[in-house]
Structure 1
Amino acid sequence: MTAATLSGPSHAPANGAPARRVVVFLHGYGADGNDLIGLAPFFGQAMPDAAFHSPHAPEPCEMAPMGRQWFSLRAYDPDMLRRDPSTLGPALEQMFLGAEKAAPTLDAYLDGLLEHYGLTPDKLVLAGFSQGTMMALHVGLRRATDRAPAAILGYSGALLGPDRLGDEIKAQPPVMLIHGTADEVVPPQAMDAAQEALRVVGVPVETHRRPNLPHGIDEDGAAMGRAFLDSHTKAAG
């Protein structure tokens, strides 16, 4: 596979045939690709012709000896966000620069996957968790229209640099955001802010709050996300 500067676990199509669509899982801060690849069998029940890839983020995690990070979170203070949600905007702006630095590496990885499988970008979908959601939105909305993913699914994340998006957006793939109401790491208000910013630039966005769910993915949220990704790549050819 060319341009594959990222690596990580993968899961072949459940039907045993060549892949006709590709799901890329993007993990959160301090985890690695093994964290989300476990979703592949569940998603594969509805998408048996899909290959699943879950790359490790490019940097060692600054605060976890075995984990990885897409960018630094040293300036991120979830306790402060819980006390004062108005600090969310400045915090996301600071993280924007980190995502911008990591974006070319992820971009090249996505291109390499499509080349490897001989598929067009409309057969590619991104599914992120937490920091992975931030990367999925950052990269997916900035890929040229003829390279854009078919859809973006984001769990427990946020949209970085919302004020910049109007000048930088190149594609408007449909987006589904799912967030727990008891999230102690990324406040659920981040989903509301992302929804508003995405609608301003014409991105179709659907949001779901999961009652009493902390920072994670529950079974109902996984089922909703699976149906969403399946519906936007159903006509794989």
Structure 2
Amino acid sequence: MPPRPVGPGREKPAVDRPVTLSGPERAPASAEAPDSLVIFLHGYGSNGDDLIALAEPFARVLPRAHFLSPHAIEPCPGAPQGYQWFPLSTLSREERDEGVAKAGPVVAAYVEAQLARFALAPERCVLVGFSQGTMLALHVALRFRPQLAGVLGYSGALARIGMLMDEIRARPPVQLVHGDQDPVVPAWVMFEALGALEALRVPVNWHVSRNTPHAIAPDGLEVGARFLQRVLG
């Protein structure tokens, strides 16, 4: 399967040397050949071992899905065994916008490689992000062609909103989930993303988990499972 070009987010290298992502995987629960891919992108300071735990509940609705949870691009300062997709030193919008533009090509290349590895079309792949991973999932999927099956984004933001009108190349279904008590990424960030996506005719749904901090609540997990079943089932 030849590499698939994606949009402007692929133009800048993420680092000065090639990066190959790796991390834990979970084979299909059915023990059959995979018919779909679910790729988890973890949050800042975490690692791939964190989100791969979601494979168990999601496999109940997607028994033939292969789940992958790569560690992010580089070690995260101050977080032993943790990684970051890009640095977050100032928490500014500019830093976030530049970070996803640099990390996006690495994630897109990983997606391309996994699709080729399993001989699956992009329409059989969903990106699932948490926090910083949601930023990357949205950034890559909205620029990836042919179009991916969807994006499930927990507790994250949409970066490069001001540039999105010029950069968007795909409109996959998006499901956003956020806790209403999130002290790290406030819930209003989800509604900012919602407005921007709707303005560009991206099919998007949202869900707020009540009394939930920067985490995935049981109801958010159920919403995510239903979304995955809808776009991949």
Please indicate, yes or no, whether the TM-score normalized by the shorter chain is above 0.5.
yes
| Gap regions ≥5 residues in structure 2 | 4-17
1:92 CA drift (Å): 2.7
User: 1:202 is paired with a residue of what secondary structure?
Assistant: coil
Report if aligned partners of 1:29, 1:70 keep a CA contact under 8 Å in 2: yes
In structure 2, C-alpha distance between the alignment counterparts of 1:16 and 1:65, rounded to whole Å: 34
CA displacement 1:4-39 (0-9 Å, x = unmatched): 810000000000000000000100000000000001
Is 1:37 the counterpart of 2:52? The answer is yes
Report if aligned partners of 1:93, 1:160 keep a CA contact under 8 Å in 2: no
In structure 2, C-alpha distance between the alignment counterparts of 1:134 and 1:72, rounded to whole Å: 13
1:12 to 12, 27, 41: 27
Amino acid at match of 1:68: Y
Report if aligned partners of 1:4, 1:112 keep a CA contact under 8 Å in 2: no
- 2:14 aligns to what? none
CA displacement 1:94-134 (0-9 Å, x = unmatched): 21101111111111100011011110000000100000000
1:223 CA drift (Å): 1.1
Report if aligned partners of 2:38, 2:66 keep a CA contact under 8 Å in 1: yes
Report if aligned partners of 2:19, 2:73 keep a CA contact under 8 Å in 1: no
In structure 1, C-alpha distance between the alignment counterparts of 2:103 and 2:206, rounded to whole Å: 26
1:63 CA drift (Å): 2.8
TM alignment of 1:42-191, pairs within 5 A: 42-76=57-91, 91-144=92-145, 146=146, 148-191=147-190
Report if aligned partners of 1:4, 1:109 keep a CA contact under 8 Å in 2: no
In structure 1, C-alpha distance between the alignment counterparts of 2:43 and 2:200, rounded to whole Å: 26
TM-score by length of 1: 0.89
Aligned length: 217
- Give the 4+ runs in structure 1 shifted more than 6 A: none
Report if aligned partners of 2:180, 2:211 keep a CA contact under 8 Å in 1: yes
In structure 1, C-alpha distance between the alignment counterparts of 2:85 and 2:144, rounded to whole Å: 18
CA displacement 1:41-93 (0-9 Å, x = unmatched): 110011001000000001110231220000011112xxxxxxxxxxxxxx333
Is 1:210 the counterpart of 2:209? The answer is yes
- 1:84 aligns to what? none
Amino acid at match of 2:101: E
In structure 1, C-alpha distance between the alignment counterparts of 2:27 and 2:43, rounded to whole Å: 22
In structure 1, C-alpha distance between the alignment counterparts of 2:183 and 2:206, rounded to whole Å: 19
In structure 1, C-alpha distance between the alignment counterparts of 2:218 and 2:62, rounded to whole Å: 17
The alignment-based identity, stated in percent, is 48
- 2:11 aligns to what? none
In structure 2, C-alpha distance between the alignment counterparts of 1:97 and 1:167, rounded to whole Å: 16
Amino acid at match of 1:109: Y
Report if aligned partners of 1:103, 1:138 keep a CA contact under 8 Å in 2: yes
Amino acid at match of 2:137: A
